[in-house]
Amino acid sequence: MYRYYVKSQKITMELPFSESYKIKMVEPIRKSTKEERRRWIKEAGYNMFNLKSEHVFIDLLTDSGTGAMSDRQWAAMMMGDESYAGATSFYNLKRTVKKLLGFEYMLPTHQGRAAENVLFSALISEGDVIPGNTHFDTTKGHIEFRKATAIDCTIDEAFDTTVQHPFKGNIDLNKLESVYLKYPKAHIPAIIVTVTCNSAGGQPVSMENLREVYELSKKYGIRVIFDSARFAENAYFIKTREEGYAHKSIKEIVAKMFTYADGMTMSSKKDAIVNMGGFIALREEALYKKAAQFNIIFEGYITYGGMSGRDMNALAQGLDEGTEFDYLETRIKQVAYLGQKLKEYGVPVQEPFGGHAIFVDAKRFLPHLPEGQFVAQTLAVELYLEAGVRSVEIGTLLADRDPITRENRYPKLELLRLAIPRRVYTNNHMDVIAAALKNVYDRREEIKSGYKIIDEAPILRHFTVQLAPSHEETIGLLGP
Ligand code: PLI
């Protein structure tokens, strides 16, 4: 509904919201039939990662590396310096990281998990514990791969999708302090704060909480590392939800956020709006030197670390654009547009809406399915069959097995994530997604059972798992 107001005796219409960009290049996408989709998903072992992208109409698998670069980013690519050592593109990126994030030392890596691999090789040893706010799966994977333990200290509110809390990514300081009291300092190489917290639903961490976590950690002599993949979206939420920040620019907020970190890992494929890339940034010279050795072994020389010069240039430009308010407002309002539609249709979603995705509460959507039958994955298959929309399970499959007991881990939340690529889809696409999910919701009682595992890898199983319907008769759903 548009509001009207009177100005000089005339009725003036308030202008509606619109995107902060226009479109210069398009990529066709193709619809398919339900029959085709039934065949394709079966061939894919009911695993969204095994689907061919050409068999997907709207792809919400991830917002990682799937964004559209700007004309300025493409232009920056042309200026890439491909020298093996000392490339101008590296110094351009290093300068940008220093200016925006404040870190003296920077190591490029080919993506976020590579940054984790390099930094954790320098930091983490067997038997260590690393507290945090629901570590992302690759982060947890890299911790457990080193026979260390990730301890989740997220506030309890995050695990109830019906609770309204502006910063559901916050760390519970009591939980954190109990970790600091229980384990010797020598076995806590860092706390990892993920901004925004992906696994809890793209939920932000407040500036106040970042400060408190930092102060508490300093009291116990513990290093604070930010997993920064969506740091700019976090800053947007601080600006729009936390008292005292409404008049600050995103860049000012970002600069302040990182004063509460000793270092960071970055998957540039998210908030830096590039298709590939990552980096580590640090304040400590000694840790930088140690990590640099691992960077050379795993990634490449310290001035390229797995990235080409042109990609480092596009990344530097993306960091600058990604921390502009108009861009972030366009992005986050689109995610909220989808969330609002789904809410209106009665679909249960994590609230408040996240920054990069809408997370559907699969247990509330399909309460009659047993948790052992991969409820959110079942929903993902149904949504794909309904309209060719690819989403991703953030639930039991992703949670993997306990590394010691090998039992399935059942997370508190069983979610279906609808991740929105940056600057890619229009709100018409959001309407299609919402209508498709509403159709599935309306026939939810006809979905009588879920899936079972046929084959799985020992770690990060969700990428390659093969599934089959728990009961043959339930697949594919009834109706045309
Ligand atoms: O996908 P990478 O290796 O560039 O980044 C790993 C990674 C680290 N931290 C966080 C918070 C992530 O969300 C993350 C990757 N996320 C993916 C791929 C996603 O679909 O959310």
The values of phi and psi at residue 32, to 5°, are: -140, 175
Same domain, yes or no, for 417 and 284? no
Q: Note the pLDDT tens digit of each residue in 54-112.
A: 999 999 999 999 999 999 999 999 999 999 999 999 999 999 999 999 999 999 999 99
Torsion of CA 235, 240, 245, 249, to 10 degrees: 60
**Rounded-to-integer distance, Cα 2 and Cα 405, Å:** 57
Same domain, yes or no, for 287 and 349? no
Residue keyed to tokens 């695990």? 159
pLDDT bin (cut points 50, 70, 90) of residue 29 is very high
Same domain, yes or no, for 199 and 84? yes
Ligand 1 centre and the CA of 197: distance in Å? 11
Same domain, yes or no, for 112 and 55? no
CATH number of the domain to which 122 belongs: 3.40.640.10
Q: Does 6 score more than 90 pLDDT?
A: no
Ligand 1 centre and the CA of 120: distance in Å? 16
Same domain, yes or no, for 254 and 312? yes
**C-alpha torsion sign, points 79, 274, 207, 355:** positive
What local confidence, expressed as pLDDT, does residue 479 receive?
39
Of 133, 154, 198, the one to substitute when testing ligand 1's pocket (max ligand atoms within 8 A of C-beta) is 198
CB 346 within 8 A of CB 37: no
Same domain, yes or no, for 59 and 78? no
- Give the chain's domain count: 2
- Residue 480: inside a domain: no
- Residue 20: inside a domain: no
Chosen domain end from 322, 347, 378: 322
- Residue 474: inside a domain: no
Residue 433 Cα distances to 26, 341, 415, angstroms = 20, 10, 16
Same domain, yes or no, for 318 and 331? no
Residue keyed to tokens 């993506």? 111
Range of the domain at 428: 34-63+325-469
- Residue 415: inside a domain: yes
- Residue 315: inside a domain: yes
Chosen domain end from 322, 339, 357: 322
pTM recorded for the entire structure? 0.94
* Burial class (CB within 10 angstroms; exposed 0-12, middle 13-18, buried 19+) of 222: buried
Tokens linked to 356: 């990069």
Ligand 1 centre and the CA of 229: distance in Å? 7
**Rounded-to-integer distance, Cα 348 and Cα 344, Å:** 10
Chosen domain end from 294, 322, 350: 322
Mean pLDDT of 145-150: 96
**Rounded-to-integer distance, Cα 347 and Cα 364, Å:** 9
Same domain, yes or no, for 270 and 405? no
- Residue 285: inside a domain: yes
Q: 444 or 402: whose pLDDT is higher?
A: 444
65 residue type, one letter: G
**Rounded-to-integer distance, Cα 160 and Cα 226, Å:** 24
* Nearest atom within ligand 1 for CA of residue 269: 4
CATH number of the domain to which 433 belongs: 3.90.1150.10
The values of phi and psi at residue 132, to 5°, are: 175, -175
Residue 220 Cα distances to 154, 186, 193, 257, angstroms = 19, 11, 16, 20
The CB of 269 under 6 Å from ligand 1? The reply is yes
**Rounded-to-integer distance, Cα 391 and Cα 375, Å:** 13
What local confidence, expressed as pLDDT, does residue 294 receive?
98
Same domain, yes or no, for 201 and 80? yes
Same domain, yes or no, for 44 and 92? no
**Rounded-to-integer distance, Cα 267 and Cα 287, Å:** 20
The CB of 136 under 6 Å from ligand 1? The reply is yes
- Residue 17: inside a domain: no
Q: Note the pLDDT tens digit of each residue in 67-81.
A: 999 999 999 999 999
Same domain, yes or no, for 418 and 291? no
Of 59, 64, 225, the one to substitute when testing ligand 1's pocket (max ligand atoms within 8 A of C-beta) is 64
CB 468 within 8 A of CB 378: no
What local confidence, expressed as pLDDT, does residue 140 receive?
93
- Residue 4: inside a domain: no
Q: Which residues are the active-site residues? A: 84, 136-137, 227, 229, 270, 462
What local confidence, expressed as pLDDT, does residue 402 receive?
86
Tokens linked to 374: 């991969």
Q: Does 165 score more than 90 pLDDT?
A: yes
Q: Note the pLDDT tens digit of each residue in 189-247.
A: 999 999 999 988 999 999 999 999 999 999 999 999 999 999 999 999 999 999 999 99
Closest CA to 441 of 387, 354, 480, 383: 383
pLDDT bin (cut points 50, 70, 90) of residue 471 is confident
Same domain, yes or no, for 122 and 224? yes
